[in-house]
Amino acid sequence: MNTGFEYREQVGPGAAGRTVLDHLATRHSHSSLAVWRERIEGGEVFLGDDRAAPGAILRRGDWLAWRRPPWEEPPVPLAFAILHRDDHLLAVAKPRGLPSVPNGGFLEHTLLRLVRARFPEVTPMHRLGRGTSGLVLFAKTARAQAALKDQFRRREPERVYRAIVYGHPDPPQGTWRDRLVWDTRALIQKETHPGDPSGMDAVSHYRVVERFVSTSLIEVRLETGKRNQIRIQARLRGHTLVGEKRYVYGPDSLRPVGFARQALHAYRLHFRHPGDNRPLAFEAPLPRDMSDLLARLRNG
């Protein structure tokens, strides 16, 4: 039995035969299925003395163990950087590891809670995944919210991300077009056929910024904005993001670069000011962990 964990549970007859993921998401439903899947795939849950797999079948008498949930002890400093603010809007840089809005077990330690502690009137205009860092835009008035919402609906804002991926995309710049469908059980995006009525088009424009021995720094401009879009589109072409734990293929040996989260950063945003319609452009510098990763890759 594994020791050194805050939480341990012995499998009883009612849980025997179920998968680790199904059992934890049902028995400990304070966290969503997606959160439990992420924690298990991230190596935070043990079955006996080994890291558990989401689909591992439980047997009576087995021991499950996991550490204190990250929403009880925030995994990163609770801080954000203000990039711009005026009477209409607020642009901030979100750190990695901090959810944008409440979801699943993450109810208190979110970017929205932190921002509203200083600016109670704001409304987020888009969101980033917990493991993604970068620029997030907030509206400060109902009029600004309506104007920005209309811009996003028309796909007018230019949203640019930077990512570090395995391999070297060929050609070095181009467009990714896919038909994606959200799997409501697995809580992931999946590729589907063009005629699937439940599918939605996903379009991204990419270019290689820098090549390394077995990885590349790429810049991706979103034409559409589906959930996890860059992560799944890169994966579909064999260019899994460094640090990715969900959208992967093959054994871990194919992904030898150690990194604590998916190497994805919301880098730049161009849009029109909701008050006077003038063009605006903001950039969120790469955070320290991605800068350090790039330095490692440049040194071979």
**Of 19, 20, 71, whose CA–CA distance to 45 is shortest?**
20
**Of 214, 215, 244, 219, whose CA–CA distance to 232 is shortest?**
244
The CA-based angle 29-45-62, given to 5 degrees, is 90
187 versus 144: which is more confidently predicted? Answer: 144
Task: Please provide the distance, in angstroms rounded to a whole number, between the alpha carbons at the two ends of the chain.
Answer: 40
* Predicted pLDDT at 295: 96
Q: Would you place residue 15 in the very low, low, confident or very high pLDDT band (cuts 50, 70, 90)?
A: confident
| Model confidence pTM above 0.85 | no
| Domain residue limits, the chain | 7-66, 161-265
How does pLDDT run across 64-75, given as a tens digit for each residue? Answer: 888 755 444 444
How does pLDDT run across 264-298, given as a tens digit for each residue? Answer: 999 999 999 999 999 999 999 999 999 999 999 99
Q: Domain spanning 161-265 has what CATH number?
A: 3.30.2350.10
Q: Which CATH number fits domain 7-66: 3.10.290.10, 3.40.640.10, 3.55.10.10, 1.10.10.10?
A: 3.10.290.10
For 105-130, what is the mean pLDDT? 85
Separation of CA 4 from chain center: 29
* Predicted pLDDT at 101: 83
How does pLDDT run across 237-261, given as a tens digit for each residue? Answer: 999 999 998 899 888 888 999 898 9
**Of 297, 231, 293, 216, whose CA–CA distance to 266 is shortest?**
231
Question: For the chain, give me the number of helices (H) and strands (E)?
Answer: 6, 15
* Predicted pLDDT at 109: 75
